[in-house]
Chains A and B, each alone.
Chain A
Amino acid sequence: MSPAPGIVAIVLVTVATLAIGTWGLRFSRTTSDFFVASRSVNPRLNASAIGGEYLSAASFLGVAGLVLTFGADMLWYPIGWTAGYLVLLVLVAAPLRRSGAYTLPDFAEARLGSRGVRAVCSVLVVAIGWLYLLPQFQGAGLTLRSAVGAPVWVGPVIVGLVVLVNVTSGGMRSITFVQAFQYWLKLTALLLPLMVLLVVWAGDGTPPAAREVAGWSVPLADGGGQGLYLTYSLIVATFLGTMGLPHVVVRFYTNPDGRAARRTTLVVLALLGVFYLLPPAYGALGRVYAPELAASGRSDVLVLELPRLVVPGPLGEVLTGLVTAGAFAAFLSTSSGLAIAVSGVLTQDVTQRRLRGITAFRVAAVVAVLVPVLVALAVPNVGVARAVGLAFAVAASTFCPLLLLGIWWSRLTAVGAVAGLVAGGVGSGAAVAWTLAPASASGWVGVLLEQPAAWSVPLAFATMVGVSLLTPGRIPPHTRRLMVRLHTPEAVELDRG
């Protein structure tokens, strides 16, 4: 295999990203053609940006690999990652925007008026961010090895460096247009090769899977009660975890009001729905043309290898370059968004106390990127989608109860919130540590720790509600006023002060 298409693709994506970040939508205007109203970010653009930041290596590479190896059960991953936005749309999007909060710790402070809750939230944002960054960097290692034959440590180091340069120089500082571009790039990078692959497959006379594995195409074919538990736990984690991801929430701030936030979420649902049709198709085609990848445990590179295996020659090389570009865009956009979110929290709550201004942010950014890169090099690969699934489980066990109860239950207290966050965080965190550690358990213990959401989410909700009910004297005095603000549409004339 030749490394040329991969290198060209990676360089092109990097240059395009930097170029749009520097010049896109920033050209100067004079007053005569400048109108503020027409320039606010419209929901479609914002939705593309959310999609661009959200579709990580797990979506781009991981889903296809999981479907290839484990079959139809794994379709719950893309379904859950999309349906998370449905929950967000119905229960969270508009009130969260109306709260005026920029980050999750901001929301906690505005709702509960407590620095303590804010501190706990900040720790969780950093933890979830790092847990999410980890598989991005590991995926980068796989991609570069597959595309250009580099050693597996090169990927994390290169992506880490590019993200760091981007974030610290301000080149990609949450420029909506860059992230929107990344969504369409990722969609194209999967769609075009898939169409060629389908044509070839049809030309071959639609052959079935080379070696049919029993139950591959049937959900819950085996595993019995444990398999059922795993599936439900996965559904809980992905449906409820999306709202707690630090880089997703930040994007909602860009909407002018609650209504726009809802419309944005609706468009996100459509965009993700379209995108997630593609990876399972790769998984299914992989069953036909590349079953040996599943057997050798390298299923995460399926998307990258399949075009070359099915279409030999120059066309295959071009398609390989295209999917490599998409994968690289996936690492870049998600990692940048997460690195910005994590270093923002680190700046605000840690480094700003010692250092000033831009230095504080840069030091925070270095820490934010360095830690997951080092961990990515140190711990064994647990599978891109699995690791991201764990980040969702932690988010669902901590921020989901905080957001849902914070928005819809006026008797929540700061003490209750902290207790719930700690209970959910410790519960799901123990499961994460267990999974990343080399030890393993079998039977129900292993199953419960592999997918903690089904017990850790109810645990967090129960703790939060229970402790809040035990401390009725600690309900923040401004609760009713804030509730009115969260739930009243902006168009209604009302004293919100």
Chain B
Amino acid sequence: MGRAWRRTHLGSESDRATFRTLHTASLASPALREGLTTTSAERSIRHLRALLGTPALALTDTAGPLAWDGGGQQHHERRTAALAVATIEAGGTRSFDRSEVGCEVGGCPIRTAIASPLVVDERVVGTLQAFAPSPTAGLARATDEVAGWVSGQLELAELDASRTRLMEAEVRALRAQISPHFIYNSLGAIASFVRTDPDRARELLLEFADFTRYSFRRHGEYTTLAEELRSIERYLLLEEARFGDRLRVTLNVAPEVLPVVVPFLCIQPLVENAVRHGLEGRGEGGHIRISARDQGQEAVIEVEDDGIGEDPERVRRALAGDASLDSVGLGNVDARLRNAYGDEHGLIVETAPGAGTRVVVRVPKFAPGVSV
């Protein structure tokens, strides 16, 4: 009775074989998702050999062996390079007979080999070589399928890597994204002070220099909130020089949160947006409020303007990455915050047409892997 129950509970014999295969594959996949390296090959090859059930298995790149699992490593591993070259030339799965595998050691179970190329983006990056006493059509088929699956995992790895590269490229773009208008307007504002108030013009020029140096900084993905706020302070000084009394700014910063580590340029785009929205089409000017609060394990940073507001649907699209909207920085900042701290730390935007905008950033004081 109990046996029957258990059998139906876990599925038939063939179901269980499928589960085992899927489980073995899932064990191999995390390593392969890091790309094809010696480390990832060594960590995954044991599981791949379990999938194929051959006496020995090798993973190579295009030039030579990366990892070997099973017997006969000493006298066979050095020959894998030649097999890899031959496979890549053939352009598909092929088998090698005794003379090509060339084993002189008596009692060695390895007599023949079947090798399949690993293909990422239509480019061969390595081979999977299964060694067996005799070549069978079943083994050839299985090797071909496993090589196809491994290629799929490696392609995903490539995708992950390119996503990271894209993110880095976006940060670089953001660094270079000081708007030409801002540069033009700032220099214009400074020029207007050169005769009337040379001291102020000199100070503003120095602020401008420091501001650009921070924004064009090349190294480091993270910075401290103090550094980020200092740059915002300079930015606002320059904008105040231009707008005069029309731009009113209130800063309210708890000193406890100044050492918190944040992604580089994650607040400044929000302030730029606020200045633009707060003053756009308003003769009487606008009021920007920036606050940073200490909240136990987190720092809460808010950027608020009392300007024209925005349709929440448009903000949702901007956060989803729609580049056609003018809030370019918003989606980028949101993506980088989620990337660094997880999805629960994305931007929170509260807005409605005519009701101003408030953007809230919640940053944990500590997150693994995040440091200046």
Q: B366 — which chain A residues lie within 8 A by C-beta?
A: 100-103, 106, 110
Question: Which of B26-34, B90-98, B192-200, B256-264 contacts its partner?
Answer: B256-264
Q: B297 — which chain A residues lie within 8 A by C-beta?
A: 102-103, 344, 347-348
Any A CB within 8 A of the CB of B8: no
A323 to B256, CA, bound (A): 30
A37 to B250, CA, bound (A): 17
Question: Which of A21-29, A120-128, A278-286, A393-401 contacts its partner?
Answer: A21-29
Residues facing A in B351-372 (CB within 8 A) are 365-366, 368, 370-372
A343 to B253, CA, bound (A): 24
Within the complex, the shortest CB–CB distance from A24 to chain B, in Å, comes to 11
Question: Which of B48-56, B113-121, B138-146, B229-237 contacts its partner?
Answer: B229-237
A interface size (C-beta, 8 A): 41
Any A CB within 8 A of the CB of B38: no
The verdict on A170 contacting B295 (CB below 8 Å), with A28-B251, A39-B258 known, is: yes
Residues facing B in A170-199 (CB within 8 A) are 170, 173-176
A347 to B368, CA, bound (A): 17
**Closest residue to A358 on the B side, CB-wise?**
B295
Residues facing B in A480-494 (CB within 8 A) are 485
**Closest residue to A98 on the B side, CB-wise?**
B371
Residue in A26, A340, A485 whose beta carbon sits within 8 Å of that of B252 in the complex: A26
Any A CB within 8 A of the CB of B220: yes
Within the complex, the shortest CB–CB distance from B288 to chain A, in Å, comes to 9
Check if B365 sits within 8 Å of A36, measured CB to CB.
no
A111 to B171, CA, bound (A): 28
Check if A31 sits within 8 Å of B251, measured CB to CB.
yes
The verdict on A36 contacting B295 (CB below 8 Å), with A25-B255, A254-B259 known, is: no
Check if A41 sits within 8 Å of B255, measured CB to CB.
yes
Any B CB within 8 A of the CB of A497: yes
Check if B229 sits within 8 Å of A36, measured CB to CB.
yes
Residue in B229, B250, B254, B365 whose beta carbon sits within 8 Å of that of A253 in the complex: B365
Residues facing B in A4-44 (CB within 8 A) are 25-26, 28-31, 34-37, 39-41
B interface size (C-beta, 8 A): 33
Residues facing B in A67-122 (CB within 8 A) are 100-103, 106, 109-110, 113
Any A CB within 8 A of the CB of B249: yes
Check if B254 sits within 8 Å of A40, measured CB to CB.
no
Any B CB within 8 A of the CB of A255: yes
Any B CB within 8 A of the CB of A354: no
Check if A100 sits within 8 Å of B296, measured CB to CB.
no
A102 to B367, CA, bound (A): 9
Q: A343 — which chain B residues lie within 8 A by C-beta?
A: 296
**Closest residue to B230 on the A side, CB-wise?**
A36
Any B CB within 8 A of the CB of A275: no
A256 to B224, CA, bound (A): 9
Within the complex, the shortest CB–CB distance from B127 to chain A, in Å, comes to 28
Check if B237 sits within 8 Å of A36, measured CB to CB.
no
Residue in A26, A255, A495 whose beta carbon sits within 8 Å of that of B254 in the complex: A26
Any B CB within 8 A of the CB of A361: yes
Any A CB within 8 A of the CB of B158: no
Residues facing A in B183-226 (CB within 8 A) are 219-221, 224, 226
Check if B249 sits within 8 Å of A31, measured CB to CB.
yes
- Counting chain A CB atoms within 10 Å of each CB, the highest count among B233, B251, B256 belongs to B256
Check if B255 sits within 8 Å of A176, measured CB to CB.
yes
Any A CB within 8 A of the CB of B294: yes
Within the complex, the shortest CB–CB distance from B359 to chain A, in Å, comes to 17
Check if A253 sits within 8 Å of B259, measured CB to CB.
yes
The verdict on A256 contacting B226 (CB below 8 Å), with A31-B236, A170-B295 known, is: yes
Within the complex, the shortest CB–CB distance from A350 to chain B, in Å, comes to 13
Check if A41 sits within 8 Å of B256, measured CB to CB.
yes
Any B CB within 8 A of the CB of A496: yes
Any A CB within 8 A of the CB of B170: no
5 contacts between A and B (CB under 8 A): A25-B255, A34-B233, A41-B256, A254-B255, A256-B259
Could you tell me which A residues sit within 8 Å of B by CB distance?
A: 25-26, 28-31, 34-37, 39-41, 100-103, 106, 109-110, 113, 170, 173-176, 253-257, 340, 343-344, 347-348, 361, 485, 495-497
